[in-house]
Amino acid sequence: MEMKKKNGMQALIYVLLILGMVIVILPMLYMVSTSLKPNGALYEYPPQFFPKLHEITLENYKYILSQRKFLGNFLNSIAVSVCTVAISAAVSSALAFCIARFRFPGRRALFAFIILTMIIPGTTMIVPQYELAVKLKTINSIWGLIPFYVAWVIPYSTFMIKGFVEGVPSELDEATYMDGGNVFTVYVHVIIPLTKPGIASISIFNFLTAWEEFPWANTVINDDLKRTLPIAISGFFGQHQFTQWGYVFALSVLSLIPILIVFISCQKFFVQGLTAGSVKG
d(CA 136, CA 74): 25
Of 143 and 214, CB closest to other proteins: 214
Of 13 and 71, CB closest to other proteins: 13
Of 126 and 194, CB closest to other proteins: 126
Q: Which of 31, 79, 194, 266 binds other proteins (CB under 8 A)?
A: 31
Distance of CA 15 to the CA centre of its chain: 32
Q: Residues 230 to 259: which contact other proteins by CB under 8 A? A: 230, 233-234, 237, 245, 248-249, 252, 255-256, 259
Give the x/- contact pattern for other proteins in 107-146, rule: CB under 8 A: ---x--xx-xxxxxxxxxxxxxxxxx-x------------
3-state helix, strand, coil in the chain (%, to 5): 80, 0, 20
Of 63 and 263, CB closest to other proteins: 263
Q: Residues 173 to 192: which contact other proteins by CB under 8 A? A: 173-174, 177, 182-184, 187
Q: Residues 52 to 71: which contact other proteins by CB under 8 A? A: none
Q: Whose CA is closest to 50, among 74, 71, 26, 73?
A: 26
166 SS3 class:
helix
Q: Tally the C-alpha atoms within 13 A of residue 281's C-alpha that lie toward its C-beta.
A: 7
C-alpha angle with apex 264: 258 to 268, nearest 5 degrees? 135
Q: Residues 68 to 97: which contact other proteins by CB under 8 A? A: 87, 90-92, 94-95, 97
